[in-house]
Amino acid sequence: MTRQLLVGILVLLSACADSGYSGPRHTSAEDGISFARLSGWQVSRERATLLLRRPGRAATIAIRTTPRQGWSEPRDAGNVFPAVATALRALPRAHVTGPTDVDSAEYPAVAFDVDFAPPGRGHYQRRHVTLLSDTRIIHVFLVAPAGQLAPSRRDLDTIVKSIREEG
Amino acid sequence: MRWRWPERHGSTFFKLCILMLLAAVAFDGSSRAIAQDTSTAPTSEPAETAGAVEAPELPGHQPFTTWDVGQGIPFEAMSAAEQDGVMRQAELAETNCGYDVAQKWSVYSHEMAELAAAETARRLAGLTGTDDIGVTR
């Protein structure tokens, strides 16, 4: 009886801990990934980047993938995450916080929060998550004018949680 | 008849002797001086210095000569204006430009290094061309 109870609790805990996404998915063969299809968001592809925009919101969610191979040294957490930090610090008048670990993703991931100010464009905020899948570096980031990031933050988290390597 | 040395010729003879003696002394001294000069000459250019005419030892740099020729003037012996000029010349020689330009070049080269590092980081991370994504207004 006690053993059955323990097994039941373990099953329940594992179900609660499961961060997988089971809803409809959007698949991009070009980028080799799939992720949650969010209602109200339109997906397009520009400059080798998937862009998700929702009418009525100033925020943009972008997804960029690149193979881990093809560099002079292996791309891993030891060089990719610091490189992301360097690239984000190079944004105009950028203030970067992070990296912080992202536990909800299926792959090792870190997040950065950036405030930056493109010349003549006012202030912007960017939540940037980088995942390291088996064969790809996957960047998922949300960009919005300062103060307009919060309404789309949950959608970003859903995509980060659901993103999966395909093919 | 006994031959006598004419007094007029005698005085001339003694004058000649004294002149020859002085000439001998003078030759002896000059050869010693040349010997000393060649012994202290630089060993790298023996052929040129052996036959060279000794330059007069005037203070300061001599025109049409290298800077190591001549006695030179100690920095402390220069006037304030000359010291300032020497320091300015040294600075120009060191940086090929003035202090302001050197500072600007330093800032410029530092910025260029940062840009290069950022570009390398973007390529490594696969973020090239993503800086302005989402910047709409």
The predicted-structure confidence for A121-157, as pLDDT tens digits, reads as follows 899 999 999 999 999 999 999 999 999 999 999 999 9
Give the nearest chain B residue to A145 (CA atoms): B135
What is the C-alpha separation between A126 and A10, in angstroms, rounded? 38
B10-67: pLDDT as tens digits = 577 778 878 887 877 776 655 555 555 544 444 544 545 555 666 656 566 666 766 6
Q: pLDDT band at A76, cuts 50/70/90?
A: very high
Distance, CA of B111 to chain centre: 38
Q: pLDDT band at B79, cuts 50/70/90?
A: confident
Distance, CA of A109 to chain centre: 8
* Mutate: best of A52, A66, A112, A155, partner B, most B CBs <10 A: A66
In this complex, the residue of B125, B133, B134 whose CB is nearest that of residue A80 is: B125
Q: How far is CA A104 from CA A71, A156, A161, B2, B113, in A?
A: 28, 12, 6, 143, 37
Cis peptide before A145 (omega within 30 of 0): no
Tokens describing residue A105? 């993703």
What pLDDT, on a 0 to 100 scale, did the predictor assign at position B8? 59
Please give the model's pTM, rounded to 2 decimal places: 0.63
Interface ipTM: 0.85
Q: Are A104 and A129 in contact (CB under 8 A)?
A: no
What pLDDT, on a 0 to 100 scale, did the predictor assign at position A77? 94
Q: Are A112 and A88 in contact (CB under 8 A)?
A: yes
Q: pLDDT band at A18, cuts 50/70/90?
A: very low
In this complex, the residue of B124, B127, B135 whose CB is nearest that of residue A139 is: B127
Percent of chain A scored above 70 by pLDDT? 88
Look at B105 and A116; give whichever has higher pLDDT: A116
Which is nearest to A132 in space by CA: A66, A83, A71? A66
Q: List chain B residues with CB under 8 Å of A86.
A: 117-118, 121
B127 at A interface, C-beta within 8 A: yes
Q: List chain A residues with CB under 8 Å of B131.
A: 90-91
Instruction: Indicate yes or no: CB of A66 within 8 angstroms of CB of B126.
Output: yes
Tell me the CATH number of domain A22-165, given options 3.40.50.1110, 3.40.50.620, 3.40.50.10490, 3.40.1000.10: 3.40.1000.10
What pLDDT, on a 0 to 100 scale, did the predictor assign at position A11? 45
A92-129: pLDDT as tens digits = 999 999 899 999 899 999 999 999 999 998 999 999 99
pLDDT of residue B110 exceeding 60: yes
pLDDT of residue A58 exceeding 70: yes
At B37, the amino acid letter reads: D
What pLDDT, on a 0 to 100 scale, did the predictor assign at position A151? 92
> What average pLDDT does the segment A63-81 reach?
92
